[in-house]
Chain A
């Protein structure tokens, strides 16, 4: 169930050349802006597009290798795909959609329907079995698409922007559920997304793709802490703090508290703080910021006229200040400072 790929595809101005691997049970997020080549990578893995050079290997079997002339077409590749707009067949019921893969592989009608019903139950949409896809909400359609992809028990699961078509309110619930199903899937999973929060919440490992190349690879926390370029820093260099919302206060895992401007949610959540929103002070600041704490500098990273400062303290995070401010504050490793974040600069999303 391991996935190993070296994909080289020239596409117009984009020269795609990426190495990728995913272990059984591992969820890898391909994170990058639109047009970086993420979907093309997914299409190559799924067998809908052949690589120009390189090779793709699923569970030790080579499925695409131009040098030896091997190309296993999509229908014999055992890749489950959840497409961006789900692509449910409108002329079939939800149940027939989920049974489609089994029927295509020659399973008889009765047992295909039985298995499809079980998969619908697993994603919690059993009662929608006879519904037409056009009548489904975005969240329901996503769950049905996932059940359809999983029903033929693929070795590899590929998801293309699985949350992009959902509105903000359903997104959180669907994301949590999706994570649950991905954890339960035994094969390798690749999720394409342009949203760092999705990558953080869904994936074990993140691969950053920029104009056709992998620019960094690691866990989200590693990458966020040590972005290798300002591009990556901008993309994932946000501080994601896990904790939970209780009565309008965000309780950080580990004990600290954050005052936030959101008070209508409760439960496990992620607080998103941009490094630019963290201000640093030589002495305890007085004024509007509601969150202040003492922090020690553990790392200083100069990027042009900006300095990224990694802080340790009750809430470890990264601050970004101008180089002028950094020299005024005499910032260096080991220096103790006060960090402050305004409550309105913290956005909280349920995890």
Chain B
């Protein structure tokens, strides 16, 4: 009886679907599909294998994967305590801290790269001391790539996880504490499992952002083959000298990103819109 009513209601809403909305949504989908089709149509399929197996491309791919995974790991390690603090603790200036930590999401990445340079560069605010005391020079190294990527990617993790912690019922934390759990034990055994899907979603989003990072990388880390030239940088440089190569590398990036998003979509990224507490 109830099922019947529900399906009836569903049918009714489906029948009422407005045609203009569907048409516009379709147009939006085409808008996203078209550039992809453009790439594919111009791809040099006969040379594809040679290009993708070339030393330069493989080196770029390896660097991109390693750096983006490192950036993701750093985003999780530093972003998780940050997200927890922002979600669960009230302190003076919390909204300022939150704005500061998510600023790089909307900042042009090139600006971020320049800012990093003046902070961590050889004559930068902190960089000069790193150079003088520890003989560490960050710019134009793979470490700089990871730093640039983390700078733009971590906010995606923080925002996702903070929302999840905020929505998880703090009552479970109370229950754990009355059972003798320290706040660390409770965080590990109660809070973290409850926000598991948001953790994965946030990590994937931050990885994806790091994998595609261009502006901050090229300003702070430069473009040295094998050291700092990641896939997006290779695409940009190839556009001037070897367009077919640029297209092939671009398609490689599309394939990797698309595969990850599709594989994780329903299981984990779906959690973004239904972040749930531990019990229902």
Contacts and interface: CB of A to CB of B under 8 A. Distances in A.
Interface of A: 46-48, 73-77, 79-81, 83, 85, 87-91, 100-101, 104-105, 133-134, 148-149, 152
A148 B180 CA distance: 11
B279 A133 contact: yes
Given A87-B172, A91-B194, A100 B177 contact: no
Contact of A90 (B174, B181, B279): B279
A48 B178 CA distance: 8
22 contacts: A46-B174, A47-B177, A48-B174, A48-B177, A74-B174, A74-B177, A75-B180, A75-B182, A77-B178, A79-B178, A83-B174, A87-B172, A87-B175, A87-B279, A89-B176, A89-B193, A90-B278, A90-B279, A90-B280, A104-B180, A105-B180, A152-B179
A83 B180 contact: no
B185 interface: yes
Contact of B189 (A48, A100, A133, A134): A100
B194 A80 contact: no
B35 interface: no
A111 B183 CA distance: 23
3 A-B pairs with the lowest CB-CB distances in the bound complex, closest first: A101-B179, A90-B279, A104-B181
B190 interface: yes
Interface in B101-116: none
B18 interface: no
A74 to B, nearest CB: 4
User: Which of B180, B182, B189, B196 has the largest count of A CB atoms less than 10 A from its CB?
Assistant: B180
B279 A89 contact: yes
Chain B interface size, as a band, is 20 to 34
B16 interface: no
B171 interface: yes
Contacts of B189: 89, 100, 104
Contacts of B186: 104
B30 to A, nearest CB: 42
Contact of B278 (A74, A91, A104): A91
A75 B189 CA distance: 15
B52 to A, nearest CB: 43
A88 B279 CA distance: 7
User: Which of B174, B176, B179 has the largest count of A CB atoms less than 10 A from its CB?
Assistant: B179
B267 to A, nearest CB: 16
A188 to B, nearest CB: 15
A81 B185 contact: no
Interface string B28-44: 00000000000000000
Contacts of B193: 89, 91
Given A80-B178, A87-B169, A87-B279, 7 more contacts: A48-B174, A75-B180, A75-B183, A89-B278, A101-B181, A104-B182, A104-B185
Nearest to A74: B177
Interface string B196-236: 10000000000000000000000000000000000000000
Contact of B172 (A79, A89, A134, A152): A89
B181 A75 contact: yes
Contacts of A81: 175, 178
A87 B171 contact: yes
A46 B176 CA distance: 12
Contacts of A46: 174, 178
Contacts of A100: 176, 179, 181, 189
A126 to B, nearest CB: 20
A89 B172 CA distance: 7
Contact of A83 (B175, B181, B183, B196): B175
Contacts of A74: 174, 177-178
A48 B2 CA distance: 43
User: Which of A77, A79, A104 has the largest count of B CB atoms less than 10 A from its CB?
Assistant: A104
A100 B186 CA distance: 10
Contacts of A133: 279
Contacts of A90: 194, 278-280
Contacts of B174: 46, 48, 74, 83, 87
A201 B91 CA distance: 45
Contacts of B278: 89-91
A104 B193 CA distance: 16
Contacts of A89: 172, 175-176, 189-190, 193, 278-279
A240 B183 CA distance: 45
Nearest to A88: B279
B180 A152 contact: yes
A286 B178 CA distance: 60
Contacts of B172: 87, 89
